[in-house]
Chains A and B, each alone.
Chain A
């Protein structure tokens, strides 16, 4: 969505010095309510995934994640993420450079435009590519005549994924580079370094943690995207099924243990994402505090 979800380095760290004035029983009551809420909505579902995955034993679990259909779903998911994330990273760097290093008219409009995909339902994100490239779509006849398949094929999945994850990296880089200003780059150029050299030795070291952070979030969404991909994939087993679509099919066929086995792989990736995210946040804050002192 538009506006800023404060995920990133501009947050202040969790304060430990802010001792509360509330009596102990109030503290424990509020903590208990908060943790119960988290338990019901986050922790129990997460634990369930692993319990259900191993309910029929290790053999069923291993079979579920190593059969050819599951493997091809895993491969396709990785392939899609490996195309979408670098492309959006390049776009994020380009857009952030244009927006934060120069002053021009219509800058806010451009930022809103970049945020637009967050305001669009994933299902609509899939639909627009069907309207563009589907058999009834704008380019449908031309694509058919030239024997190019986009919808119900891998290119459509890639396009829908790029659309859904487009803002992630740009929106991490823009506020950070805005705060860093242009003086370091100007000094570098004045001293005779070229544009590319300036970016590589001056800008990139300053934004590396935020860039990685954005890429991690982008990757998590690219891997897990369901609605948009579901519209454009056509659910062809072994060909156009990503991991989330594979989970849906298994679940629909009442193969719950297998569905949760694949889901457990995705949950592990999510937990891994959260851990890397915390590490990157810590690096980002440390870098900022070094710069400020």
Chain B
């Protein structure tokens, strides 16, 4: 019904307006709704002043450095050590979150247990809790005299493991929230068919459920990974910030700024931005791939 009346409407519109109007607004299709100029203009102005202009400063200031200067800064051993830690810890946290995120989503969708609604709501805590609060709380829990730290036989706080723990906290909701809707929409009949054809529960999981869940889990992993690379607040308390050992890349930008080394800070920021944008591209690709899979079904 809706599309038919829209079409009729469109025909009338073309008759009334003729070609004059559509020629005038070339890049936009004609609509009877008002406010395009105002809302589009405001959107572009807001984005230009608050996002594009400030971000272009990174390119502007990096381009003022000579290449040797730039490479010396971004390939300094201390900086390279921070890339390794940021990447390694984000990767480890992402993998932990992928495994436990799928498990959590499964438990929350398929099983019922007391307090399930509260647990489901609590999964979003890392989005709501300020990172500095998370940072000091995790440091206290995992310190050698803390509730968990005292039970462990190894040191967590002020080591790379501490960084992994903080990043696991930060990335926790992503995989769960990506996988939950997929499990929700998975048809039970397919699993029953698989079981009735003689597949074991494990085979059904591996062959039927896992392939459906994987793209969503990967998308969640990438989101958590990207967020972890830039994370600052929750990490700096638990990591101890020892040069070459437990310094993350965002901390080095901060350190350079405190020494008024704006060029150095900008160069490292440029490397981080390029990495983030590449991840953005990968995420969009995974989502495109997932959507295509769903459409082809």
Contacts and interface: CB of A to CB of B under 8 A. Distances in A.
B197 interface: no
A230 B34 CA distance: 42
Contacts of B185: 12
Contacts of A85: none
Contacts of B40: 98, 102, 104
B137 A49 contact: yes
Contacts of B138: 45
B74 interface: no
B31 A101 contact: yes
B58 to A, nearest CB: 6
Contacts, number: 335
A244 interface: yes
Given A123-B232, A163-B50, A21 B254 contact: no
A178 to B, nearest CB: 14
Nearest to A216: B128
Q: Helix, strand, loop or mixed for chain A's interface?
A: helix
A83 B136 CA distance: 28
A226 B233 contact: yes
Interface in B137-192: 137-138, 140-141, 146-148, 165, 168-169, 172, 174, 177-178, 180-181, 184-185, 188, 191-192
Contacts of B219: 3
Contacts of A26: 201
A189 interface: yes
Contacts of B98: none
A226 B132 contact: yes
Interface string B97-122: 00010011011111111001101111
Contact of A5 (B60, B137, B165, B174): B174
B119 A18 contact: no
B262 A131 contact: yes
B17 interface: no
